[in-house]
Structure 1
C-alpha cells in the first residue's frame, strides 16, 4: 500500500498543497491524510470510506483515481491470497513488473501535471501495479476453474491452484448453474418459480455488496468450486453435494444464504472469515 501513498503524496506536493490545505478541500482529517500517504489504509474508518477517501484525495490533487483504486484492490486481493496459500503467487513479481510499465504510461497520460522526476521516483517503488487486472487478462482465454456440481467436482492440484484465475470465469457450464450478476438478470428470470433442488444437494447463494474475494471448496479434499473476486451487485449460486468450506476476504461486503436460510453478513468490512457449511 505504500506505493499508493507515495503517489498521492507526490501529487500533493506537486500541487504545492499542505495537509491542512487538502483537509479543507477534501473534508478528510489531516491524521487520516497522513495515514493514506504512509500506506496505512487499515487505520481508516472502514472499507467503504477507503474508496471514497482515495477518490476525493486523487481528484483534489489532479490524479485519475481509477488506477489507484485498481492497485488498492489488487493489493488487497493479493494479501488475501497469500494468507490462504503463501506459495500460490510465486510469479506475482514478474506480473507486477509488467504492471508498472502500464501504470507509468497511464499516469503520464492521464496526469500530465506530474513532473517526470516524480513519476520515475514513484515507479522505482512499484507504482500502480495493476497485477490483478493483468492476471485476469492473461487467463481470460484459459478454461474456467469453477467446477459445476451437476458434473461432479474437479480436484485441482496445488500447482494448478497456484495458477488459477483470480477473476470469476465468464462461462461456467450448464445454464441453471451459470454465474449471473444482478445487472444481467432478465425480467423472465425474476418472475420464474423458485428452482427445485436436486435430491441430496445443498443450495448456496451469495450476493456481493462490495468488492469481495471468495474461495469456495468442497470437503474433505478442499476441491475448488470457485475462487475469484466478486464485484458489487454480483449474485452467484451453487448446489454442493458435500460440506463446503467458505473463505471470504472482506466479509462485510457479502451476504450468504444457505438452504433457504439467510446467514446474513458473516463479518465486518476488510475482515477475513472462514466458515464450514454442512451438507445436511
Structure 2
C-alpha cells in the first residue's frame, strides 16, 4: 500500500501540478511540501502543522484527507473499525406503529400552514422584485440630454461654433487617451493551468482598479496581496452585479481567488482578462497578477 507521501505525490502529478504550483495554491513552503512527499514528518514544526499541511495538500489535489490523517496518527482505517452493537428496541411493535402514526398525523396538520406561508413569501418576493425593476427602469419621462433654444441667427451661429469646438476637443481627447492606453496597462499570461493562472502587468497605471462582474450565476471572490495568506476583502456577487476595488498602493502583486470561474468577468484598469479561456473550469481558480508600474520610454 502506498505511503501518505506517495499517495499525495501521485495525485499531484495526475493533476499536472509542480511543487511551485502547489506552493502558490496552498501557501505552504516548498520544503514542507517536499518533506511530506518524502514522509519526513520529523522536518515539520509540530504534529499540529503536519496534520494541517496534509489536509491542505490533499484538498488541493482532490483527495480525502481524513484517511491520510488517521494513518499519520496511527489509527486504523475506518473501513476496518468494529461496527457498533445493535441496540434492542424497547416496547411492542404495536406501540411503535402508533407513535409513527401520530408523527405522520402531526405533520399533515401542519402542512396547510406551511403551504400558506410559502405562498405569502412568494407573493411578497414578487412584489419586491417588481418594485426593484420599476426603480431600475428610471422615470417614465426621460430627462432631455440637451436643450434647443430658438432665437436669433447670431445665437444659433454661436451655438453651432460652440458645438463644433466641443466636438473637435472631444476627438482630440479620445485620440490622446487611445494612444496613452496603447502604451499602458499591458497584461500577458506567464503560466496557465486549470486552477491557477499568472499574469505579468507592464506599464500599469496607478491607482490600479479592479472591476468584477457576475455573469449567469453567483460567484465568490477573495482578494489578498501576493505572498500573504490574509484575505483582505471577500464578497459574493449575484448575477449581473458589478463591484470595484482598488489595489493597495504598496502591493506589487494581487491574488484573486474565484469560487465559480465561469461566472466571472475581471477587468484591470478597464482591461478585461481572459483568465478562463485556455484552461476553462467551473470551480475554484486563483488569478495572480504581478504589477510593474514603471513606464516604458515612448
| Shared fold per TM-score greater than 0.5 | no
Q: TM-score, normalization: structure 1?
A: 0.29
